[in-house]
Amino acid sequence: MTAATRPTAPTAPTAPAAPRSTADALAAARRGPRRRRAVVVGVLLVLLVALVLVRALLGDYRVSFVDAVRIIGGAEIPVASFILMESTLPRAVMAVLCGAAFGAAGGAFQVMLRNPLASPDILGLTLGASAAAVVSVVALGLRGTPVTVAALGGSVLVALVILSQAGGGGSATGRMVLVGVALAAGLSAVVHWMLVRSSIYQAQEALVWLSGSLNSVTWTDIGRLLVLDALLLPVLLALSGRLPVLVLGDDLAAALGVRVPALRIGVTLLVVALVAAATAVVGPIAFVGFLSGPIARRLVPGRPSVGIAALVGAVVVVGADHLSAYAVPDTALPVGLVTGLLGAPVLLWMLRTRSTPEGR
């Protein structure tokens, strides 16, 4: 802003290749999408913080914001400390962590497979975890950590079968989706079979693995998922920078320098790791992976955004958890039930308001 720099700035004869008008036109073309993106991210962040505060403070027992700050700072307030630190705050934090994991994983998977149906919950990744867990509870009589390990193994196994179709040319994505859907159907049959032959006591135990719930979240669980999210999400976000090229089709993506099979394998591995980690802690929270991507794409059209899908997922789970706890008086519904109930109408609404008939 000093007088010395003034004269050099306006002349700028450095870029004769692009006339001023083109540069202006491109800047103008960028302005709209950029502003929209900034607004969407801002609104989602504010909404997320607001929902976390609501979830943590405005339960049956209300904790004031000032008290909450003091409690987190180390103060001990009777009742409030217990409610906040053992119940509402861990649930809110866990909802954010697993919502972001499900949302990012779902959004990335759908974009990678160019199919809005191709989310990890539809393609059997979460069902793989559920089925393995239910089998180990009902048939093998396992409890605790071994069940979690089995659940992880189930997801990974399903992912490997789906990945076996990732190579080669032609309709690799179509094959991956079909194999996933077929696996999901088979696994759901396994789950039902197991439930039929289980005792009522075992069924109760297995139920946690069928509909996700935040009812018994511990700070240890949160620590584990936080570490995994912190490791996996940034890598997935970096890798998803290539997805805008992949969505143009395998041939054009390859011609633009993307190693298509390698990218598919990389994204799938990250997605299964995120989904398995979140499922192992809270169970399969229905439809979050499925819904976050389409909602994110509706909010910010044109550019697949895994980051925004993660934010949407977090918002959905925190909001749904609050509803699940207080919508029906004296009944704590599993959060997965609420997301499932919300999911169907949202899906129908999106189908009806689809912006282009071809629907890519």
Interface residues toward other proteins, by CB under 8 A: 15, 17-18, 21-23, 25-26, 28-30, 32-33, 114, 169-170, 238-239, 241-242, 244-245, 247-249, 251-252, 254-259, 297, 301-304, 355-356, 358-360
Judged by CB, which is closer to other proteins: 141, or 359?
A: 359
CB of 270 to other proteins, least distance (A): 14
Judged by CB, which is closer to other proteins: 55, or 114?
A: 114
CB of 78 to other proteins, least distance (A): 50
CB of 181 to other proteins, least distance (A): 21
Judged by CB, which is closer to other proteins: 192, or 303?
A: 303
Distances (CA, A) of 111 to 118, 145, 213, 238, 296: 8, 33, 27, 15, 11
Torsion of CA 307, 225, 113, 340, to 10 degrees: -90
Tokens 């975890």, located at residue: 129
Paired tokens of 340: 């499932």
CB of 275 to other proteins, least distance (A): 23
CB of 148 to other proteins, least distance (A): 33
Paired tokens of 351: 């189908």
- Strands (E) in 220-359, as ranges, are none
CB of 256 to other proteins, least distance (A): 5
Q: Residues near 235 by Cβ (< 8 Å), separated by ≥ 6?
A: 270
Judged by CB, which is closer to other proteins: 37, or 70?
A: 37
Q: Point out which residues pair with 62 in neighbouring strands.
A: 58
278 neighbors 155 (Cβ within 8 angstroms): no
Judged by CB, which is closer to other proteins: 299, or 315?
A: 299
- Cα–Cα distance, 93 to 85 (Å, whole number): 11
Judged by CB, which is closer to other proteins: 31, or 143?
A: 31
- Cα–Cα distance, 159 to 151 (Å, whole number): 13
Count CB neighbours of 219 within 10 A: 14
DSSP character string of 42-95: HHHHHHHHHHHHHHHHBSSSB--HHHHHHHHTT---TTHHHIIIIIIHHHHHHH
Judged by CB, which is closer to other proteins: 223, or 249?
A: 249
CB of 29 to other proteins, least distance (A): 3
CB of 24 to other proteins, least distance (A): 9
CB of 274 to other proteins, least distance (A): 19
Judged by CB, which is closer to other proteins: 169, or 186?
A: 169
Closest CA relative to residue 116, chosen from 232, 236, 247, 235? 247
Q: Which long-range contacts (CB under 8 A, 24 or more apart) does 295-303 make?
A: 295/346, 295/350, 296/103, 296/107, 297/107, 298/350, 299/40, 299/44, 300/33, 300/36, 300/37, 300/40, 301/355, 302/33, 303/33, 303/37, 303/244
Judged by CB, which is closer to other proteins: 37, or 224?
A: 37
